[in-house]
């Protein structure tokens, strides 16, 4: 049985709300603290204008240098985010949606089209990046799918990353695969697999319901068991299978 299928079938059986046992396929025994997994740790970070773990930073440096040979200047617009940073994003979007007439459930579902619930973001691990091409004139809102496709301003970046990113350990997280659920397609979001795959496997040992509910987030009373199971399966696990 493939790993991703094993994970999803396990969660579907009702273990999404409880502490998931140590999975048999894990081979890396280095334990990552609860605080670091949910963005409340104090990781050692590297980078100018962005923050990544050293191995990811070094790989990104090599990737950027190679891209420059094709006149593409990769710029990171988002990297490590602490729990508090993600919570500020959550509060801003939640309150804006309520102000615009959404009820709490509608607000939550609107937010998780693109943004994660605090404590569940891959950006907490300092392994993931959102990127643009700084060598072209910049649009007013850079992280829009249309800029990376067809004749968009970042089309050359996307084509170059499609060909070279995996060589340097970076993989697109939220693909445009027809049957993928959860977060919408993000052609700008890449993950450094040699680190993030281990972080994900460690993350799945946590009690996801406790992470989501105990921090008294706005709207947390609407996080039903059914919602959490769906969020875990669709938003956290329905990603590029190369990262599972």
Segments making up each domain of the chain, as ranges: 50-237
Write the Ramachandran bin of 154: left for phi over 0, alpha for psi from -120 to 50, otherwise beta.
Answer: alpha
Whole-structure pTM over 0.75, yes or no? Answer: yes
β 128-133/74-78 pair status: antiparallel
Q: Is the pLDDT of residue 238 over 70?
A: yes
pLDDT band at 33 (very low <50, low <70, confident <90, very high): very high
The pLDDT tens digits of the residues spanning 176-229 come to 999 999 999 999 999 999 999 999 999 999 998 888 878 889 999 999 999 999
CB-based contacts of 173: which residues, under 8 Å, 6+ apart?
Answer: 122, 128, 186, 189, 190, 191, 239, 240, 243
Give the whole-angstrom CA distance, residue 91 versus residue 145: 24
Mean pLDDT of the chain: 90
Looking at residue 214, its pLDDT comes to: 82
Looking at residue 30, its pLDDT comes to: 83
Give the whole-angstrom CA distance, residue 176 versus residue 172: 10
The pLDDT tens digits of the residues spanning 111-135 come to 999 999 999 999 999 999 999 999 9
Annotate 162-229 with three-state secondary structure. Answer: HHHHHHHCEEECCCCCCCCCCCCCCCCEEEEHHHHHHHHHHHCCCCHHHHHHCCCCCCHHHCCHHHHH
Q: What is the CATH number of domain 50-237?
A: 3.30.1380.10
CB atoms within 10 A of CB 106: 13
Identify the three-state secondary structure at position 133. Answer: strand
- Overall average pLDDT of the 151-174 stretch: 98
Looking at residue 8, its pLDDT comes to: 52
């Amino acid at each position: 049985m493939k790993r991703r299928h094993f994970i999803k079938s396990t969660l579907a059986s009702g273990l999404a709300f409880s502490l998931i046992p140590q999975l048999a396929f894990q081979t890396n025994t280095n334990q990552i603290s609860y605080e670091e997994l949910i963005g409340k740790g104090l990781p050692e970070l590297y980078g100018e204008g962005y923050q990544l773990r050293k191995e990811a930073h070094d790989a990104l440096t090599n990737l950027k240098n190679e891209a420059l040979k094709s006149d593409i200047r990769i710029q990171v617009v988002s990297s490590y985010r602490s729990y508090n940073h993600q919570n500020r994003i959550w509060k801003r979007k939640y309150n804006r949606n309520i102000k615009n007439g959404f009820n709490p459930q509608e607000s939550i579902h609107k937010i998780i089209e693109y943004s994660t619930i605090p404590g569940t973001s891959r950006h907490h691990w300092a392994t993931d990046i959102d990127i643009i091409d700084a060598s072209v004139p910049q649009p007013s809102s850079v992280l829009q799918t249309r800029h990376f496709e067809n004749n968009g301003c970042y089309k050359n970046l996307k084509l170059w990353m499609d060909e070279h990113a995996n060589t340097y350990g970076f993989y697109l997280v939220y693909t445009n695969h027809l049957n993928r659920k959860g977060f919408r397609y993000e052609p700008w979001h890449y993950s450094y697999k040699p680190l993030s795959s281990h972080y994900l496997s460690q993350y799945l040992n946590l009690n996801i319901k406790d992470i989501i509910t105990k921090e008294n987030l706005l709207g947390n009373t609407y996080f039903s068991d059914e919602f959490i199971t769906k969020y875990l399966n669709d938003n956290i696990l329905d990603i590029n299978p190369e990262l599972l």
